[in-house]
Amino acid sequence: MKFLFLITFLPLYLFCQKKDTIDHDKLSLYFNDNGKLYKVIKRSDGSIFNGWGKFESYEGYEYRYYKNNKLLYVDFRDFQNQIIKREIACKYSDNCLEEFEYYDNNTALIKKKYFICVEIDDDGEIVEKKCKNYFEYYKNGQLKIMGQYENNQEKELWIYLNENGKIINKINK
């Protein structure tokens, strides 16, 4: 009976799982049909991977931090290893990323904070659009611009402030 069960359902299980190997063949990432990551394995010994994975791209490097088979965040760095921005998966939506851009490679000095909504178009391509809240800051940490995006378009009230926090302009989009 077990043998019959294995013959019937094992091929279905194997075909439903997608595998993508990245990082110079050091890690294997396994995704289900919905594109959800469900396992990160070290190729050297087959154990579950927790920690940083470094990936070279055409713009620089991506440092991806995994814990308990989940991607927690991605740091984008230039070829001098300076942090450009960080992406964190939104807690309330699977199709959303929270983006942080920084001043001077310092994750305490946020330059911009915004959200990216991720969709799949009719051709199966991934489309990223700015959505939800947008914030821009001066180097001193004071809020500079506050607004909202919907489908990559500025919408509703946008507020502009000076370095002392006083409102200098309001524009309704």
Q: Which has the closest alpha carbon to 163: 129, 138, 136?
A: 138
Q: How many domains does the chain have?
A: 1
Asked if the structure places residue 87 within a domain, the reply is: yes
Asked if the structure places residue 22 within a domain, the reply is: no
Asked if the structure places residue 122 within a domain, the reply is: yes
Least confident of 13-17, 91-95, 120-124: 13-17
Residue 147 pLDDT grade (very low, low, confident, very high; cuts 50, 70, 90): very high
Whole-number Å distance between alpha carbons of 101 and 107: 8
Task: Count CA atoms closer than 13 A to 170's CA, side-chain side.
Answer: 5
Please report the pLDDT score of residue 9 as a whole number.
31
Query: How many CB atoms lie under 10 A from the CB of residue 93?
Result: 13
Asked if the structure places residue 145 within a domain, the reply is: yes
Mean pLDDT estimate for the chain: 76
Please report the pLDDT score of residue 123 as a whole number.
80
Angle at 93 between CA 61 and CA 133, to 5 degrees: 80
State yes or no: pLDDT of 18 exceeds 80: no
Domain boundaries, position 137: 82-173
Asked if the structure places residue 112 within a domain, the reply is: yes
Average pLDDT over residues 116-121: 83
Q: 58, 74 in Cβ contact below 8 A?
A: no
Reading the block at residue 86, the tokens are 């960080």
Asked if the structure places residue 147 within a domain, the reply is: yes
Q: 40, 47 in Cβ contact below 8 A?
A: no
Using only C-alpha atoms, the chain has a radius of gyration, in whole angstroms, of: 21
Asked if the structure places residue 6 within a domain, the reply is: no
Please report the pLDDT score of residue 156 as a whole number.
95
Asked if the structure places residue 158 within a domain, the reply is: yes
Task: Count CA atoms closer than 13 A to 146's CA, side-chain side.
Answer: 10
